[in-house]
Structures are given as structure tokens and as C-alpha cells.
Amino acid sequence: QVQLVESGGGLVQAGGSLRLSCAASGRTDSTSAMGWFRQAPGKEREFVAALNSLSGNTYYADSVKGRFTVSRDNAKNTVFLQMNSLKSEDTAVYYCAAYPARYYSRNAYSRATYDYWGQGTQVTVSS
């Protein structure tokens, strides 16, 4: 059984930083590719960033490139999202998600790719 638990959300002023964490439990091969999505009120859940620990590839939405960085501590089976230069439009519930990275043909940018999801953590950026 795979479980993903996010932490690190909160309230921050525009221009500030936050670091989100997502701790995965269960089979490590099931969570070898992990990503972050977000959902703002009234909007669809959208891709933010992802990391494939087998290939080493990282993926970012255009809206966060240069501001957000995804990384992973394999020993702790934890993925991080460092968010800098935050903007009010980054306000959303952020979700961690995972799938087995051996499925190379899957599209890391697509919600449908991910088999496991966390409960989400709120990030609020005040302007």
C-alpha cells in the first residue's frame, strides 16, 4: 500500500519562498517517479513539476520554470518542491503524486499518468 503525505504549505507574501515535502511509504518502485500538481479554486488540477528517479529527468510547467525546483531524497523516499519568487497566482492546494518510473512511455505532465495521490497542502500567497 502506497501512501503520500505532503507538508510545508502555508501563508507567504509575494516574492517569498516555501518548500513542500512529500513523504512516500510503501513500495519504493511504485513511487520512483513523483510529481506535483496544484488546484486553485474554480480551476482544474494542473501539472507543476515532476522528477523521474530512474532517468534523472525533471519536468516543469512553463509558469514555474526558473522559480520552482523539484528534488528528491531517495534514502528517505521523499520529494521536495522548492518554490521561490512566489506570486499570488501560485495560490492553490498542492498535491503530490507518484507512479512507477519504469513506465517510460507515460506522460509525466498528465494527471492520468499518476497512480497514487496525496491529500494536498494549501499554499496561499498574499500580494
Report the Cα 35 to chain-centroid distance in Å: 4
Q: Which amino acid is at 86?
A: L
What separation in angstroms does the CA of 89 have from each of 1, 23, 26, 123? 34, 26, 34, 10
Total Cβ atoms within 10 A of residue 40: 14
Asked whether the beta carbons of 12 and 121 are under 8 A apart, the reply is: no
Going residue by residue through the chain (127 aa), what tens digit of pLDDT does each one get? 899 999 999 999 999 999 999 999 988 777 789 999 999 999 999 999 999 998 899 999 999 999 999 999 989 999 999 999 999 999 999 999 999 988 778 899 999 999 999 999 999 999 9
**CA pair distance 83, 85, nearest whole angstrom:** 7
